[in-house]
């Protein structure tokens, strides 16, 4: 088994991803590729593809529910990094749950994290 987000991608195809313009690589110290964003409001940018009726981030490489990866994961916006997977840290995530349900995926349960404690699966002993 592996991290549930690697077979999900629902949040990246459900929510608008907006963030302060200074996170874009066009700003000093910014890292998010500005060419993958567009202006939203005066001090905000948005990931292309997420500010529409049926959002899907341009950086998402996924077949929702089968495989998922963020093509800019190391430099993704802080708002993306702030969305926890449900029960990963023991708490439900309303954002995760809402996105998964919208895509017809089951809500994550404690059993989805059992691999972390299984040495045979590469988890902790």
Per-residue pLDDT, 16: 97
Its domain, for residue 26, covers 4-118
Does residue 125 fall inside a structural domain? no
Does residue 57 fall inside a structural domain? yes
Considering only CA atoms, which of 94, 79, 75, 93 is closest in space to residue 36?
75
Per-residue pLDDT, 2: 87
Considering only CA atoms, which of 43, 41, 45 is closest in space to residue 57?
45
List the alpha helices (DSSP H) in 12-118. 78-81, 94-102
Per-residue pLDDT, 120: 65
Per-residue pLDDT, 119: 63
Distance from C-alpha of 125 to C-alpha of 107, rounded to nearest angstrom: 26
Does residue 124 fall inside a structural domain? no
Mean pLDDT, contiguous 10-residue spans, the chain (125 residues)? 93 98 93 97 97 97 97 97 95 98 97 81 58
Number of domain units in the chain: 1
């Amino acid at each position: 088994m592996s991290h549930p987000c690697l077979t999900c991608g629902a949040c990246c195809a459900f929510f608008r991803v907006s963030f302060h313009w200074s996170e874009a690589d066009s700003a000093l110290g910014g890292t998010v590729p500005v060419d993958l964003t567009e202006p939203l409001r005066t001090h905000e940018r948005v990931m292309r593809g997420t500010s529409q009726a049926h959002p899907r981030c341009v950086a998402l490489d996924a077949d929702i529910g089968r495989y998922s990866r963020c093509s800019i994961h190391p430099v993704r916006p802080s708002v993306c990094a702030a969305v926890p997977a449900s029960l990963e840290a023991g708490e439900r995530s309303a954002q995760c749950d809402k996105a998964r349900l919208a895509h017809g995926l089951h809500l994550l349960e404690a059993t989805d994290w059992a691999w972390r404690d299984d040495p045979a699966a590469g988890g902790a002993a």
